[in-house]
Structure 1
Amino acid sequence: MEFSLQDIETLRDRADGWESVWSRLWEALDLRLHEMLFLGAPNDPSSWKLKSHFNILREEFTAQDFISDLLMDFARRAEQGTLLASFEGTPEQLLPFLAAPDFVGLRAISHFTKARQAGIINLPSDHEASPSVHHLNGDGFDIVDRGGSSQVDDPLRSPLTIEFRPGGSIGATIRMAAIQCWPRLSSDQPGLDQLESDLRNRLSVADATDPIIALKEVHGSARTRLIHQLKSIEDQIIDSPGMHDPRRDSLDRQRIKIQVDLLLVPLDRAALQGLMSLSDDAVFQQIRRYRRNFSELFPDLEERLDAIVRGVE
């Protein structure tokens, strides 16, 4: 279905005949979304099968609900005159602008989350098990359902191993690595008992609280803080289809930084001061040395970071 510049101006300005243009655009968007989500003939529901990228939606009827919700959102924006407010492209770019693969993928996550919270479908309840969007070559994407498959190798969730020889001395940098990564350390971590003993002796906690339990609680609070920051960035992307490249690039850089912090530096200086009874400057210097030694401390770091960066390309 073709659209002209006049059609775009008519719809944008809600001029005479805009409803007719919107009706045609609705049909085109409906077809595009069905082709994006389903295998099978668009006019034969019995042949529809969810494409693997959208298995997060679980069932064909859930995917149809998602399409209906997205089209209704488009319709509301068309009524308000905001649907094409930021569109400056050609008629050929209209459909990709409104229903880009990465945008639709993010909206699918939003639909997934709302359905989970409403109890419509039985899905993981914690953010760690929520899905993420991995972009592929700018034209497609993959939605990773972290709760649905044990085969997913997520760089933000798979266990970490610190390069450490059991029996050796535990310096400030190794200790900082253990503190920052404790909940994520592999059960096969060499010298795990030695690292735990060192933390119990070195961490300073009040009220006779078990130091390891206190450390895990601080990690929980830090992870919640960082996840909220990631959610804020995702919301900005979801709410702004067709976002200009400089703004999107800035958000992607922020997202990568937060993801790296989630992986290796979840505890900020204030949290560390509370655990280590050190001055702010001393904590700053230890974090700085720790960051400088990432590649020596984590031999698989380059592979993990590459996976994180690929996730937002």
Structure 2
Amino acid sequence: MYNYLDFEKPVQDLDGKILELKRLADNGEAVDVGDEIARLEKRSKDALRDIYRALTPWQKAQVARHPDRPHCLDYVKTLFTDFTPLAGDRAFGEDYAIIGGFARFRGQSVAVIGQEKGSDTQTRLKHNFGMAKPEGYRKAVRIMELADRFNVPVVTLVDTAGAYPGIGAEERGQAEAIARSTSACLGLKVPSLSVIIGEGGSGGAIAIATANRVYMLEHAIYSVISPEGAASILWHDSTRARDAATNMKITAQDLLDLKVIDSIIPEPLGGAHRGRDAVMKSAGDQIDKTLAEFGAMNMDFREHRRDKFLAVGRSL
């Protein structure tokens, strides 16, 4: 059984009935129920399709945060080989919220940087729920500088509610670290691409997502602040996060229209958590296609990046 979201209640009810019928059939306590199971499975799939066809921005935020959604390490293990992680910023320490290192992607050497949220209580605490501290961003800068030195393209996987706002992080220069990481992204001489695989929250996301190409999964979100944070500032009421999400244009579809991102990677019906292998393959195919395009380009990737981000929000 899946971890159902609140708005998926009709599907949960139907799936519950299907499981009950299957249990009775397995125990020999019911006559042939194959036709009834098939009918209910069709109703469940149709209900799921109807729900996901009309998701609100707030519902998309819930899907993007689903605990069973594949995270950075899932993509790294599935899409990359010979991954060699690098640890530490050579100044303070290690930050497990940011995963980074060098690997091979379908035979090509790449640098990989991503934010890892964790998949259970123990790993979520270890990775600080994907909220990086200054040393995490300084580690990212270190990896980007190495990628530049060895002429290796950079792939980033973004999934964070935002940079860690704790006192220690602020004391160690959180804002400065984010700014330097963003600057390092902009200054890369090698090509870079970024995929928003879940949440793209605030400067914590932009710090590693300032790339030549930016893609989003279909039900991912990308925003300058979390809906809860925006609601707290605008209305002094975090419970109005639903209203904030609607007004902030945080969905992949909105951001494609605004030309903030370059393309949308489709997710399986019901979200990435219902088809983990399929969505990671789709993301991998997009990365492969983009790296091939980069390889055929003879251009200044820094200039391309500069023009791309200067054009955001402008109209002809």
Do they superpose with TM above 0.5? Answer: no
Higher RCO, 1 or 2 (CA under 8 Å, sep at least 6)? 1
What is the TM-score normalised by the length of structure 2? 0.32
More helix by share: 1
More strand by share: 2
Question: Which structure has the larger Rg?
Answer: 1
What is the TM-score normalised by the length of structure 1? 0.32
